[in-house]
Amino acid sequence: MNSNKIMVDIQNVRKDFGTVKALRKVSLQIHEGEVVLIIGPSGSGKSTLLRSVNRLETLTSGQIFVDGDPLIGPKADIRKIREETGMVFQSFNLFPHLNALDNICLAPIKVRKLSRTVAQERARKLLKRVGLGDRENAYPGQLSGGQKQRVAIARSLAMEPKVMLFDEPTSALDPEMIKEVLDVMLDLAKEGMTMIVVSHEMGFARAAADRVVFMDEGEIVEMGTSQQIFDNPREERTMKFLKHIL
């Protein structure tokens, strides 16, 4: 499924919040169609790394390329990169004043300049794809957590991104809703979407992750296939962390 093309190229990225070194020289290449899972203890910099890729956090130093386009520097076109990277948040961040359909249509209409009819047609298809074909008129306040997150995924997909970023997409959900969201993500992975996922869902990791990255204290400590990392970790810190979450 992976091609040789590098879709996201993270080079020597550092990010300081005042004296806190959230990321220290992180480098990571993600190929087209690859699913990379990032794990690590709280505060290890997972969210910061993800949020750096679409510049919700500005880098202290380093560079990131998304499909060859630089994130930093005079040639950087941040809006283009944001159009090409979808992001799914732990807390959904659906727009509460818009119904499901309008949540999905807004960016295609305002950013991609699609006509309302075309945008709605696509939005309906996406809602069907995430199993919510009958809820297009529902407002976020009327949806369950799992449904909200699926609408949020559909909303990102409506921009036809080349990369999808997921920051703990299931950790605000009740256990019975986790599967419905993971299933949508698994489908996406199968269809060849490039994905960077921060999550501690082992089932998803084993089923879909091409690579697992373990981060601690702003660094990548170890990476490998899910088997390598989960069953035969090399580093002490990885073992300790895995013992903690398993």
Partner 1 sequence: MASLNNHEEPRVIEITDGVLLPTHGERRIIDSWRLTLSIAILGLLAMIFLVKDPYSQIFRVVIKGAPLTFGVTLGAIFGSVFLGLFTGIGQIAHVRLLQLISGVYVELIRGIPLLVQLIFIYFALGKFFQLDGIPAAIIALSICYGAYQGEIFRAGIEAIPKGQMEAALALGLTRGQAMRYIILPQTLRIVIPAIGNEFIAMLKDSSLVSVIALRDILRRGREHVSRTFLSLETYALVALIYLVFTLVLSKLVAMLEDRMKRHEQ
Nearest distance, CB of residue 85 and Mg ion, angstroms: 17
- Check if the beta carbon of residue 152 is closer than 8 Å to that of residue 94: yes
What distance in Å separates the CA atoms of residue 182 and residue 131, rounded to the nearest whole number? 12
The entry of Mg ion, ligand ATP, partner 1, none near residue 20 (CB within 5 to 8 angstroms by kind) is ligand ATP
The entry of partner 1, ligand ATP, Mg ion, none near residue 44 (CB within 5 to 8 angstroms by kind) is ligand ATP
What distance in Å separates the CA atoms of residue 8 and residue 121, rounded to the nearest whole number? 30
Q: Side by side, which strands form the sheet with 194-198? A: 85-88, 163-167, 194-198, 35-39, 211-216, 219-224
What distance in Å separates the CA atoms of residue 10 and residue 166, rounded to the nearest whole number? 17
CB atoms near residue 135 (< 10 Å): 18
- Check if the beta carbon of residue 221 is closer than 8 Å to that of residue 204: no
- 20 contacts: CB under 8 Å, gap ≥ 6: none
Tell me which residues in 170-229 interact with ligand ATP (CB under 6 A). none
Q: Which of 11, 12, 60, 90 binds partner 1 (CB under 8 A)?
A: 90
Q: Counting contacts by CB under 8 A, is residue 92 touching partner 1?
A: yes
Binding region for ligand ATP (CB under 6 A) out of 39-47, 153-161, 206-214, 230-238 = 39-47
What distance in Å separates the CA atoms of residue 120 and residue 126, rounded to the nearest whole number? 10
Q: Counting contacts by CB under 5 A, is residue 226 touching Mg ion?
A: no
Q: Which of 1, 3, 5, 17 binds ligand ATP (CB under 6 A)?
A: 17
Q: Counting contacts by CB under 8 A, is residue 86 touching partner 1?
A: yes
φ, ψ of residue 37 to 5 degrees: the values are -105, 130
Kindly state the tokens that stand for 27.
Answer: 């480098």
Binding region for ligand ATP (CB under 6 A) out of 46-54, 70-78, 92-100, 152-160 = 46-54
Nearest distance, CB of residue 93 and partner 1, angstroms: 4
- Beta strands 35-39 and 194-198 are parallel
The entry of Mg ion, partner 1, ligand ATP, none near residue 239 (CB within 5 to 8 angstroms by kind) is none
Residues that bind Mg ion (rule: CB under 5 A) add up to a total of 1
Of the candidates 221, 222, 246, the residue with the CA atom closest to the CA atom of residue 24: 221
Q: Which of 44, 47, 99, 194 binds Mg ion (CB under 5 A)?
A: 47
Q: Which of 46, 150, 211, 237 binds ligand ATP (CB under 6 A)?
A: 46
**Contacting positions for partner 1 (CB under 8 A):** 54, 56, 79, 82-83, 85-87, 89-97, 106-107, 110-111, 139-142, 145, 152, 155-156, 159, 171-172, 174
**Contacting positions for Mg ion (CB under 5 A):** 47
**Contacting positions for ligand ATP (CB under 6 A):** 17, 20, 22, 40, 42-48
